[in-house]
Amino acid sequence: MWAHIFWGSCTDALWYCWGSSVIYREPVDEVLQIPPSLLTCGGCQQSIGDRYFLKAIDQYWHEDCLSCDLCGCRLGEVGRRLYYKLGRKLCRRDYLRLFGQDGLCASCDKRIRAYEMTMRVKDKVYHLECFKCAACQKHFCVGDRYLLINSDIVCEQDIYEWTKINGMI
């Protein structure tokens, strides 16, 4: 029996998400060479007189003015991703709901909605609840080592027994 085997650790399996713009929050007087009153907010079109402002989509924003065009949630969290498509500012959930693609979990073969959090290892995608050892059912923590054998994930402690039972050694 041939198997595709990949060694990894939970630092290799990253949350899968897309993004187009990172939001920055800066003190006005440390970044600009001009008075803050000359800055215009991309949302309300008023001048920005606050000590802090946001920069996204090549515009400046009041912290309260940068929000998702669909659900209205605030996007002004430092380092949060902003999705911008077809002239709309979107939060992650709305972007994936509109433009994401559903897929199948490599473990249970059930549908993964585009907006769900997943774990990805190489070209395989898993529901969070399915990303566990195929032998002992233990969920992995950051730093845990595992072996990916075809679509099965096996923890370091169960590798020998798993490969023996499945006729790989």
Ordered structural domains, the chain, with CATH: 5-16+101-165 (2.10.110.10), 21-98 (2.10.110.10)
Residue 47, CA distances (Å) to 11, 28, 37, 77, 134 in order: 44, 12, 5, 21, 58
User: What is the side-by-side order of every strand in the sheet holding 21-22?
Assistant: 21-22, 81-85, 88-90
* pLDDT tens readout for residues 39-85: 899 999 998 877 778 888 888 888 889 999 989 988 877 556 788 88
CB 118 within 8 A of CB 126: yes
* pLDDT tens readout for residues 11-47: 433 332 333 344 444 444 445 556 666 789 999 999 8
| DSSP structural state of residue 158 | G
Q: How far apart are alpha carbons 138 and 159 in whole angstroms? A: 13
The total number of residues shown for the chain amounts to: 169
Predicted TM-score (pTM) of the model is 0.49
CB 158 within 8 A of CB 16: no
The Cβ-side half-sphere exposure at 58, using a 13 Å CA radius, reads 1
